Structure 1
Amino acid sequence: MDDISTGTLFILLAILILFSAYFSSSETGMMTINRYRLKHLVKEDHGGAKRVHKLLLRPDRLIGLILIGNNLVNIAASAIATIIGMRLFGDVGIAIATFALTLVILVFAEVTPKTLAALYPEKISFPSSFILLPMLKILYPLVYIVNGFTNLILALFRISPKSGDEDSLSREELRTVVHEAGAMIPKQHQDMLVGILDLEKVTAEDIMIPRSEIVAIDINDDWKSIQKQLVHSQHTRVLLYRDSIDDAVGFVHVRDALKLLAKDQFSKANLLRAVREIYFTPETTPLHTLLYKFQSAKERIGLVVDEYGDIQGLVTLEDILEEIVGDFTTTILPTHSKEVNLEADGSVLVDGSANIRDLNKEMDWNFPTEGPKTVNGLILEHFEEIPPANVACRLAGYPIEIVEMTDNMVKTVRVMPMLYKEPEHSRSESAGN
């Protein structure tokens, strides 16, 4: 070293700092690169992506290689900086060189390149793979020895370098990815994707048409009355029953009734022959399972039953699809459902039979969906008795006034979302998180 000029040593020191910056940026770029985009680029036969993917198959070897290189250049840089310091400042130059080199490496070989690599991992990792792959082959014996010792230490803690977390996303993580996609995925498509993810936690009971609202025809009625109900039916499939819905006969398709009418065979006996078998499903069936069952059974409609076999409601394929794509409508203008009426003062009149899940989705509210399925049920659960009209309360942070009661049921309520106040337990949970 005595024969090497100080100027040359400065040049060598600068080159070593550049090498250190390269190894630091390569490490950060390789470790922060988006693995899912990387897999996509590999499928697209991207050369740089294929090299990086090959290196990341064994991250322990990649990290070992980078750290070996980084430590070698840093130690060499420290030795050269010490020589330069002693030449310029004597013995005190050792301390000066240590402090100065630490600052230089921290700024130019650590923080700056790692920040750059974290911001642009592909631009850093793809070119650096040109150097790292040959280096891995050349230094493989040394990397193998170093990894052997580190893997032995990990084995003492029962950790395997090959048993890291798989590159798979949970449902909640995938939901976050969808929301974070921003402008890359239109808002409507985001809602559809999230709707598909939610099918697993939504049951038939959550979306069914309640028993009291099922449009059905009593086959024991007068034939003219049956004809009139069929003619004025707004549904293509109508449930037939005897005296009570619990004694359901089956579904009749209006198309089949029209065929009988066209053949002049429209009678009660022939109508019963055209009845289609009823498909029953438990109320706890998740929607994704129900969708598969509808598909395999080639069904579009079914009756929902409870654990005792009693009919609780009706569910259709359209109901499931609406959970994914939203409500079907014949107009492009945004409209509210018939259960919701917006008032001039900002309050909202809501029908007591309104489904809470649908209400939350339509109005962007936060009423609890665990428990009662309707507004009426939620209010009755809160009061633990049948309340009179003109009584007010606060539910889930929303001020609610009972406007009308009918037949021991809450007919209409007034919700005042402008006076919403986050419940105390929600704030405490948020603070805890």
Structure 2
Amino acid sequence: MKKILLIDDNEQDRMLYRRYLDRQAGPTRMTIYEASSGEEGVALFESHRPDCVLLDYNLLDTDGLEVLAQLRQRTPPNTLCVVMITGGGSEALAVRALSSGALDYLVKQQFDPELLYKTVIHAIEKNEWRQYEARYHGQLQAMNQDLRESLAELTATRQQVDDTNAQLLAANEEVRLRNQELAATNQQLARTNADLDNFVYAASHDLRQPVNNLRGLFEELRRAATFHDPEEGLLLRLIDESLQSLTSTITDLAAAVQVERLPGTQVQEQLDLASLTTDVLQALRPQLLTEQATVSTDFDALPSLQYVRSNLRTILLNLLANALKYRHPNRRPTIHLRTQLLHGVPVLEVQDNGLGIDLQRHGAELFQLFRRFHPHAGEGTGLGLFLVNRLVQSHGGHIEVESEVGEGTTFRIYLQGQQVG
């Protein structure tokens, strides 16, 4: 349904235009509104918003160009469809009408019904196409704007990616250089540790003979010499204790370094823990008798295991010797040995009721070289736990410690990587 507005002060001309349009419309239905003045035409335009306006130039109250200007003020740009009808056929007037916004013009008494109908339909189609183009171009501009914004975002993102890649490359290069530095440092530390071990091993080996000579000379002096002053006897005892301490230190140093010097193919064997413990207790028999210590064992969970015999013997010997050395002065030493499987890993546990260790204070230093936490409790070199830890780690295991000052200590040795017997 097309709506047509006729603005003409001549009633006969309006009737003629209506008849022409009705005759030519055919199946196309049209609703025609009529206005006899410019003022009435503007009012009908606002209320009905017609698809096309047939506007007479010569009106009683105004002229067509003025009405055209008012109509343009009431419509969005490029949406007004007006065909100007002139009476004089002036070409200059036609140009003015077209430049003012009219889509076409007709000259009175120079058109027939068909020309009028075709002109109106063409103007309507031209206006619709113009609006379609405007919408299309608006959408195209919006799309272009979106594309420009997307391109700007993509460019910014690409720049960020490039910056990030550059930072990552710089970071990777820095990591690579640090890794090289760490590798070089580790190599240097390994060489230094090897040199220190070799030095300690050589020194402990070379010192044994002079110490043995001192021991022989001291024994000969104590056997042959006669001392009448009691303080001289005390001096001899102090010298004897110093020689014993020096001998123990040299022996322990050699044993600690020997762990690192032994080849990685040490022979493991199936060890019966009860038999091995009996051997260790026999070696500690004098201390056990002196301290009246009680040692109990529970190897039911793991009676035997695959291990290097000398290493496990040293581990047991040092832990039991420490339990006796750092006994509590107000009670007899009680030591309990047992084995268990924790998450499939064989564990050897040594528990005592001795002095205990302040782990909060000394935990980080527990397995360091030459560290002693009860120097008043007895003689020692501070090498025992260091040696035990080295031996355990050489087999892929680790040690956990629980201790309470004044109550005792429990060592759990996780023998990882060992075959359970």
Q: Would you call these one fold, judging by a TM-score over 0.5?
A: no
Question: Which structure has the bigger radius of gyration?
Answer: 2
Give TM-score, length-normalised by structure 1: 0.18
Give TM-score, length-normalised by structure 2: 0.18
